[in-house]
């Protein structure tokens, strides 16, 4: 799996459009309140590491500040745990079923904190 490149013109364009759509404000703070940091990030709703597209459409990203980034991940874990959503397919090549199962369990623990 390749590392996402956030310096590309495509990402910079998507980032600027997301910031403009969100009014250059943290989405989490707008919904839940709380103090923000000045630094704003544009965050993939489905992480690239989990099979999400590097350049999703505008609905696939949201603006969050550094202070609320962890809150966003905690909310995602909560929702996934409540809805019991299946993990995206593993991108590894496992020779044995036991290795595939261990990988799935490890990813599930990382994703939903189980």
Quick one: pLDDT at residue 114?
Answer: 45
Range of the structural domain that residue 27 is part of:
9-86
- pLDDT tens-digit profile of 6-63? 899 999 999 999 999 999 999 999 888 888 887 899 998 888 877 788 889 999 999 9
Please indicate, yes or no, if residue 95 is contained in any of the structural domains. no
pTM of the model: 0.67
- Whether 110 is covered by a domain: the verdict is no
Nearest CA to 44 out of 35, 36, 54, 34 is that of: 54
Q: How many structural domains is the chain composed of? A: 1
Cα 46 to chain centroid, rounded: 5
Q: Are 43 and 64 in contact (CB under 8 A)?
A: yes
Is position 47 within any domain? yes
Q: Is residue 92 part of a domain?
A: no
Residue 58 domain-assigned (yes or no): yes
Q: How far is CA 47 from CA 32, 51, 54, 56, in A?
A: 22, 7, 8, 10
Residue 2 forms part of a structural domain: no
């Amino acid at each position: 799996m390749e590392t996402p490149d956030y310096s590309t013109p495509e990402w910079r364009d998507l980032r600027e459009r997301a910031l403009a759509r969100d009014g250059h404000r943290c989405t989490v703070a707008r919904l839940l309140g709380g103090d923000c940091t000045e630094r704003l990030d544009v965050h993939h709703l489905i992480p690239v590491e989990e099979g999400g597209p590097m350049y999703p459409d505008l609905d696939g990203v949201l603006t969050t500040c550094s202070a609320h980034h962890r809150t966003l991940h905690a909310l995602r874990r909560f929702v996934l745990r409540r809805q019991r959503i299946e993990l995206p397919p593993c991108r590894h090549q496992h020779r044995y079923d036991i290795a595939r199962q261990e990988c799935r369990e490890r990813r599930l623990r990382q994703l939903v904190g189980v």
